[in-house]
Amino acid sequence: MKRTKLLITISLIFICGYIFGQNQEIENLVKEGIEFHDKGEYKKAIEIYQKALKIDPNSSLVNYEIAFSYFSDKDYKNAESYSKKVIDLNDGNILAAYITYGNALDMQGQTKKAIKYYEKAMKDFDYYLLYYNYAITCFNSGETDKAYDSVLKAINNNSSHASSHLVLSKIMEKKGSRIKAMLPLYFFLLLEPNSSRSAIEYQTLRNYIDHGVSQTSEKNIDVVVPMNNDPDFGAAEMMISLSKASNSLEENKGKSEFELFAENNDGLFKILGELKKDNSGFWWDFYVTFFYEIANNDLTKPYSYYISLSKGEEINKWIEDNKAEFEKFENWANN
């Protein structure tokens, strides 16, 4: 009887050691694969993950990582297959797999199926990237209201996610609201002031400000206030156009475009703050409150220069020449 117990004990030790060895080898391979993936060498990463799958074909971690690398390599069919396996295994990495699976389906034109799986995932998970990706898919398929509701959840879940603010701006542009397209852009540029896409969106913001204002002669400026579906923002709409028109007044001659941009922003933020007294809800409580605080703390100028960083040397020089003012803004923003 003692000999039998000893053999069982030795066998268990051997099995545990073998499993530990397998897990360690898989862990090492995954680490190596991630290093290749992070360098953009997706095919090499996939080769490494395939080795790991030979050791354990049902590893949820390896199946997810290979799905992600296939997706990054634009092999959406394989990304769909491996991420679906993770979901079916139901043994970890499920949330990330749902997102990759939905994206892979969407990229293959299977939008309705992608929406179905995002909605299934949202019953179990409360995560900003899930809401964000669902919003993107809905927006691209023309379901603007669903996209709007979902991206608000993404922002409420993680207000520091720049892309969610950008998507909300695009949604509101499609809905025909200039102010509501601008406010998320102001916030996006605060989070991401100097990237390739921020340069594009900065110009989009400036175009919104310029819209409806044209100089027909040296002394005549035409101002057309765009129609919109947000009567609560009507006064702000008028203010943007009049403020832009006033840039050409004699008193403003000699000021740089960035100085005028900052002054236009300050006027907008202040009038929005005044309008907030009679309004509430997401737009007023989140965006308007935030920008009104910037204006009330005399930080609109450094803020405006900061979100203009993609414009290059002139902005960098202003920040360098106005360190104390800019540091005041930085300290406020970081608190």
* DSSP per position, 64-91: HHHHHHHHHTT-HHHHHHHHHHHHHHTS
Q: Which of 300, 288, 305, 310 is nearest to 202 (CA)?
A: 310
Both 223 and 303 in a single domain?
A: yes
**Nearest-angstrom CA–CA distance, 208 and 189:** 14
Residue 55 sits in the same domain as residue 111: yes
End position of a domain, from candidates 125, 142, 174: 125
| 300 & 173 share domain | yes
Cα separation, 232 vs 246, whole angstroms: 23
Q: Collapse the DSSP code of 212 into the 3-class scheme (helix H, G, I; strand E, B; otherwise coil) and give the result.
A: coil
Would 231 be classed as within a structural domain?
A: yes
Instruction: Provide the whole-model pTM.
Output: 0.85
Let me know if residue 94 belongs to a domain. Answer: yes
Q: What phi-psi label fits residue 83: left (phi over 0), alpha (psi between -120 and 50 degrees) or beta? A: alpha
How confident is the model over 94-98, as a mean pLDDT?
Answer: 95
Under 8 Å between Cβ of 46 and 72: no
Distance in angstroms (rounded) separating the CA atoms of residues 138 and 118: 10
Tell me: do 87 and 226 sit in the same domain: no
Residue 199 lies in a domain: yes
Other beta carbons less than 10 A from residue 195's beta carbon: 13
Assigned domain for 130 exists: no
Say whether both 95 and 204 belong to one domain: no
- Work out how many domains the chain is built from and give that number: 2
Residue 223 DSSP SS3: strand
pLDDT at 92: 84
- Domain presence at residue 203: yes
Last residue of a domain, one of 81, 108, 125: 125
Residues 204 and 277 both lie in one domain: yes
299 falls within a domain: yes
Mean pLDDT over all residues of the chain? 86
Residue 226 has pLDDT above 80, yes or no: no
Same-domain status, 96 and 206: no
Q: How confident is the model at residue 13 (pLDDT cuts 50, 70, 90)?
A: very low
Is 229 found in the same domain as 167? yes
- Residue 142 has φ and ψ, to the nearest 5°, of 90, 5
DSSP 287: I
Region 192-219: mean pLDDT is 79
**Last-in-domain residue among 100, 125, 150:** 125
| Identity of the amino acid at 74 | K
pLDDT at 188 over 80: yes
* In a shared domain, residues 182 and 289: yes
Instruction: Identify the residue with better confidence: 243 or 18.
Output: 243
Whether residues 174 and 289 share a domain: the answer is yes
Residue 159: Cβ-neighbour burial (10 angstroms; 0-12, 13-18, 19+): middle
Same domain, 70 and 216: no
pLDDT at residue number 246: 59
pLDDT tens figures, 248-297: 555 556 678 898 899 889 989 998 998 888 888 999 999 999 999 999 99
Q: Is residue 244 part of a domain?
A: yes
The residues that bridge with 225 in the sheet, in sequence order, are none
**In whole angstroms, how far apart are CA 272 and each of 38, 281, 328?**
43, 13, 23
Say how many C-beta atoms besides its own lie within 10 A of residue 56's C-beta: 16
CA of residue 311 relative to chain centroid, distance: 21
pLDDT band at residue 113 under the 50/70/90 scheme: very high
Has residue 139 been placed in a domain?
Answer: no
Which whole-number Å values give the CA distances from 299 to 130, 193, 223, 324, in the listed order?
34, 16, 28, 12
Range of the domain at 89: 21-125
- Same structural domain for residues 221 and 89? no
Residue 32 is part of a domain; what is its CATH number? 1.25.40.10
pLDDT tens digits along 23-66: 788 889 999 999 999 999 999 999 999 999 999 999 999 999 99
